[in-house]
Structure 1
Amino acid sequence: MRLEIRSNDRIGISQEILHIFSKYAWDIRAIEVTAGFTYVHVNESYQDSSLIIEQVHLIDGVTSCDEIELMPQERRENHLRTLLNRIPTPIFDLDEAGNILALNQAAIHLIDLPDTKLEGLSISEFIDQDFYGLLQGKGREQSIVFKQDAHIAEVSPVLVEGQVRGALLMLRDMNSLGRQMSLMQAQKEHGLEQIIGQSETIKLLKQQTRRFAQLHLPVLIQGETGTGKELIARGLHQESEQKDAAFLALNCAALPEHLLESELFGYASGAFTGAQKGGKPGLLELADGGTLFLDEIAEMSVYLQAKLLRFLQDYRFRRVGGNREIKVNVRIISATHQNLPQKIEEGRFRADLYYRLNVLNLVLPALRHRGNDIALLAKHFIQSAAIQVNMPAPLIDEASIAELHAYTWPGNIRQLQNILFRLVALNKGEYLSLKDIKQSLAQAAGEMKSVKKSHLRLEYDGEPIIDNKLQGQGIRTQDDKTWANAQAEFEVDLLSRLYPLYPSTRKLAKRLGVSHNKIAMKLKEHGFTSD
């Protein structure tokens, strides 16, 4: 039985109330006192509450005595427990020895011991490291293994007069952390509707992408630089059943081998000097249940190719420096602009990994092969650029569209977007200037030609050019102009303009009226990649 006793706020009244209970030897379970209120919880075996209430009313200053359902502390605890149970993150309240004082419903579900009283158990029974190590420092995050599964632990020590008297432990699984990272990488959804184009090649690409999205198999995306391989990868993910899970991307060309390895597979505590205490999860763990996109897969070292191949066999791996096998369910989408079969012949890419990654294959068309899509993309990029520079969107006439169509776009969609952004930012009229468009395209073509010539001057068969080494081969530096040098420059210019339009030795040979063997020889001589 619980009673709420209202009274005047005078000295000694609480003692007089307790004296009544003591006089009749009533068993008091709990008592709470605030100004003007005394709350008493007595043993439920006392059925006759009228006697208690009558005796309490005899005390001078008592104005009322009523039964209540809960003590104030019980009411606060119920509200707090309801609040904690609505939080999906497992939360543990621990004492200074690591024993569980309280936990929410998510934590109870995580431990999954229905017939066991969890309060009083040591948290060390469920984690893979010393509890006192978790308490070092003020709130921090670290990777731990809880009941054989990896989690990110957020530890907040409870301090009393500067001394640690316990800790609040919150656990986040790798899936939720991966989803958060996915949202940080892309603030909006990237479905196939984001892909602009009405050409037959794009329509077919979208249809094939939607079919592949329903198959939980590796996909290899191939296409020239700037064709939108990551956009297609995100579209694959958004069209799949895993669309609500994480989509994480990693550029294999952006990191050296050792950093790429730890980024992909994670590392265990103490794996190397400077390693984060508790270790760090890799993208394979964080993308569990979702998709991992490996861009520029051809740039991955042979050593990491072997590790990735081992993972793809049974989707198990170990962190760098770790000894515990981790199994994940993640879809691998890879992409490259390079010729992987040729790299296999050169011994720079594993054939067995190629077949693992190339279960499903998507080939993205170059912009120059997409017909009227150039006009649609141009108008879209003009609108987008105008919004970014906070100015009205200029118009573009048919002559300018025709000029864009005539260009070969070696940098594809990315190059088109960059050129139009620059034109919009500098534009001052109602229309984009045809003259400015021609100048921009001519400048872009000149830059590409300069890159090709620079490559010719600086490299020959992969080695720096030395004049005396190449004297007998008829190739000299610009300071020593010869007929052969001029002819080589002409051939480089001709091949750089025509080879993208006729991307095989036989097609280009037919266009120029020579044998395909001659074309193959010239492509190799000037550093072009032939079929």
Structure 2
Amino acid sequence: MNIHLGRDLASLNLALDALDEWVVVVDESAKILFINQPYAQFLGVKRETSYGRYVVDVIENTRMHLVVENGQEELSKLQEIRGRHMIANRYPIRQAGKVIGAIGFVLYHDTHEWRQMNTQIKALVSELDFYRRALDKEQTGAHYHINDLIGRSPLIKAVNEKIKKVAGGDASVLIRGESGTGKELYAHALHLLSERSKAPFIKINCAAIPENLLESELFGYAEGAFTGAKRGGKQGKFQLADKGTLFLDEIGDMPLTMQAKLLRVLQDREIEAVGSNRLVKIDVRLVTATHQPLEKLVEAGEFREDLYYRINVVSVDLPPLRDRREDIPALAEHFLNRLAARTGRRAPKLTADALTRMLEYAWPGNVREMENAIESAFYLSQGYKISLQALPSSLTAGVSVVDKSLVQGTLKEQLAMAEKDILEQALITCKGNRQLAAKMLGIGKTTIYDKLSRYELTNESFIG
């Protein structure tokens, strides 16, 4: 044996013997290759004589041989040895894709020890939550900064730059985008970048409040204004947002009668509470959002044209996730890291086939749908990998597992291949009608022509 190698192995043995955790290593036949001295001592065996023995004959209720057989890791599993319940982790050892053994760790020597550790962790998490809640109370109500908005695609970079440019003024901003694209998050970021960042950020969803209550929610009411009114009255969202920002989400769902009253407030910069005849001056920056085409609502007489121009001084259009697929890996990593921080678990990684499917999927629910999918997979998966099978069935229906050996090339190259496949499928579905394919994919006519040219998709068999 090489002298240095022998010395290294001896040092490794000493290090593993010094651990509180008990360690065992088996080969592909589930025979013991190594066991550290504390574990051997507890088992009542001599370490040297245990080497080469079948692990089942040495360790009571072991599952090391099963890990070798099925290649599946087992985390935080109960195991009874000599009348004591312990908690163990077991991992397969692979070489060139083949399982050649397994390694196991007994982390907690009894369940009481684990419960003590769990109690300490819960106490620390509780303390952290206390300070977080205390900090939140001091905040203005906006929580998402521009740096929290994940994405390096050209489309998102352009949106972020536009937000930075308009944040410093008081112009009304209309944020447009499909459901789930993050309109509210951008309203938060706009407020925190503005000169009003220390003042309140107040939000209200116009679609979630009945028409007969919306006026009092926005403008407040005086004492005795109606049956059930609070003594002393109640401030509305405009009063609460004074000197700050008021975010009206789903502005396209606001009833016409309320649109007229909102327009008057924006023109006069003063509000009149329900049941009061007193006008109150307000200083509020208005940010609105909608997923609806307001221009069509104006044409149909369902949205006031004068209000449309009042709220649409600056328009910010958020791209759907399908138009910025290159952001998907970074978004997935962000959501997984956030879940890991919340739960105290190590952040898992997406396998190549899971990431490939996420890049191919259309994401009709956009970033919100993706966040929900990641959270579901996070809790349903075990270990440090999220496989294709762990993704929600809505993503994987009719999809077979992709052979990892087929996933080749850089991320940019894989994204390009996925985009090309999606374009081809859309054109086949639309029988070569490029404009119809563009509409189905939610992209512009110019965009699809550019992409078809880039990928040299000019086959007359599917392009009309």
TM-score (normalizing by structure 1)? 0.50
Residue 251 of structure 2: which of 293, 297, 316 is its match? 297
Match for residue 173 of structure 2? 219
Which letter maps to 1:277?
R
Which letter maps to 1:412?
N
Pair 1:392 & 2:346 matched: yes
Which letter maps to 1:190?
Y
Match for residue 99 of structure 2? none
1:259–1:184 distance in 2 versus 1, CA, 3 Å: farther
Pair 1:441 & 2:381 matched: no
Instruction: Give, in whole Å, the separation in 1 of the partners of 2:396 and 2:177.
Output: 25
Instruction: Give, in whole Å, the separation in 2 of the partners of 1:444 and 1:230.
Output: 34
Match for residue 337 of structure 1? 291
SS for the counterpart of 2:441 is coil
Match for residue 360 of structure 1? 314
Match for residue 326 of structure 1? 280
Residue 371 of structure 1: which of 293, 309, 325 is its match? 325
Deviation at 1:318, TM superposition (A): 0.4
- Once the two structures are superposed, the pairs formed by residues 5-24 of structure 1 within 5 Å of their partners are none
Instruction: Give, in whole Å, the separation in 2 of the partners of 1:308 and 1:444.
Output: 49
SS for the counterpart of 2:382 is coil
Which letter maps to 1:278?
G
Pair 1:285 & 2:239 matched: yes
Instruction: Give, in whole Å, the separation in 1 of the partners of 2:283 and 2:136.
Output: 16
Deviations 1:400-442 (A, max 9, x none): 2222111111101000000010001010132101233374403
1:214 touches 1:239 (CA, 8 Å); kept in 2? Answer: yes
Deviation at 1:307, TM superposition (A): 0.4
1:310–1:188 distance in 2 versus 1, CA, 3 Å: closer
SS for the counterpart of 1:241 is coil
Deviation at 1:189, TM superposition (A): 3.5
Which letter maps to 1:294?
L
2:321 touches 2:367 (CA, 8 Å); kept in 1? Answer: yes
Deviation at 1:240, TM superposition (A): 0.6
Deviations 1:373-394 (A, max 9, x none): 1100001111222334443221
Which letter maps to 1:273?
T
- Once the two structures are superposed, the pairs formed by residues 37-116 of structure 1 within 5 Å of their partners are none
1:182–1:439 distance in 2 versus 1, CA, 3 Å: closer
Deviation at 1:503, TM superposition (A): 4.2
Instruction: Give, in whole Å, the separation in 2 of the partners of 1:504 and 1:214.
Output: 31
1:182 touches 1:247 (CA, 8 Å); kept in 2? Answer: no
1:218 touches 1:356 (CA, 8 Å); kept in 2? Answer: yes
Higher Rg of the two aligned structures: 1
Which letter maps to 2:239?
E
Pair 1:310 & 2:270 matched: no
Instruction: Give, in whole Å, the separation in 2 of the partners of 1:497 and 1:416.
Output: 23
Instruction: Give, in whole Å, the separation in 1 of the partners of 2:140 and 2:348.
Output: 28
SS for the counterpart of 2:386 is coil
Identity %: 43
- Once the two structures are superposed, the pairs formed by residues 174-185 of structure 1 within 5 Å of their partners are 183=137
1:403 touches 1:438 (CA, 8 Å); kept in 2? Answer: no
Which letter maps to 2:307?
L
Instruction: Give, in whole Å, the separation in 2 of the partners of 1:375 and 1:204.
Output: 19
SS for the counterpart of 1:362 is strand
Larger CA deviation: 350-359 vs 501-510: 501-510
1:389 touches 1:425 (CA, 8 Å); kept in 2? Answer: no
Pair 1:501 & 2:441 matched: yes
1:289–1:502 distance in 2 versus 1, CA, 3 Å: closer
SS for the counterpart of 1:410 is coil
2:243 touches 2:284 (CA, 8 Å); kept in 1? Answer: yes
Instruction: Give, in whole Å, the separation in 2 of the partners of 1:241 and 1:444.
Output: 51
1:226 touches 1:414 (CA, 8 Å); kept in 2? Answer: yes
- Once the two structures are superposed, the pairs formed by residues 250-289 of structure 1 within 5 Å of their partners are 250-289=204-243
Residue 403 of structure 1: which of 353, 357, 367 is its match? 357
Deviations 1:340-396 (A, max 9, x none): 011111111111100000001110111111132110000111122233444322111
1:252 touches 1:296 (CA, 8 Å); kept in 2? Answer: yes
Match for residue 185 of structure 2? 231
Instruction: Give, in whole Å, the separation in 1 of the partners of 2:154 and 2:220.
Output: 42
Instruction: Give, in whole Å, the separation in 1 of the partners of 2:222 and 2:141.
Output: 31
SS for the counterpart of 1:271 is coil
Residue 248 of structure 1: which of 202, 221, 228 is its match? 202
Instruction: Give, in whole Å, the separation in 1 of the partners of 2:343 and 2:260.
Output: 46
Which structure is richer in relative contact order (CA contacts within 8 A, separation 6 or more)? Answer: 2
Residue 432 of structure 1: which of 360, 366, 386 is its match? 386
Compute the RMSD of aligned alpha carbons. 3.2
SS for the counterpart of 1:238 is helix
Deviations 1:191-228 (A, max 9, x none): 10111111111111111101110111110000011111
Which letter maps to 1:405?
L
Deviations 1:24-53 (A, max 9, x none): xxxxxxxxxxxxxxxxxxxxxxxxxxxxxx
1:211–1:418 distance in 2 versus 1, CA, 3 Å: same
Deviations 1:470-496 (A, max 9, x none): xxxxxxxxxxxxxxxxxxxx99xx999
1:182 touches 1:248 (CA, 8 Å); kept in 2? Answer: no
Give the aligned length.
288
1:252 touches 1:300 (CA, 8 Å); kept in 2? Answer: yes
1:500–1:290 distance in 2 versus 1, CA, 3 Å: farther
Which letter maps to 2:441?
L
SS for the counterpart of 2:350 is coil
1:423–1:184 distance in 2 versus 1, CA, 3 Å: farther
The runs of 5 or more residues in structure 1 that have no matched partner are: 1-179, 446-489, 514-531
SS for the counterpart of 1:280 is coil
SS for the counterpart of 1:281 is coil
TM-score (normalizing by structure 2)? 0.57
The runs of 5 or more residues in structure 2 that have no matched partner are: 1-133, 400-428, 453-457, 459-464
Deviation at 1:500, TM superposition (A): 4.2
Deviation at 1:323, TM superposition (A): 0.2
SS for the counterpart of 2:316 is strand
SS for the counterpart of 1:258 is helix
Instruction: Give, in whole Å, the separation in 2 of the partners of 1:260 and 1:184.
Output: 28
1:237 touches 1:247 (CA, 8 Å); kept in 2? Answer: yes
Which letter maps to 2:388?
L
1:182–1:360 distance in 2 versus 1, CA, 3 Å: farther
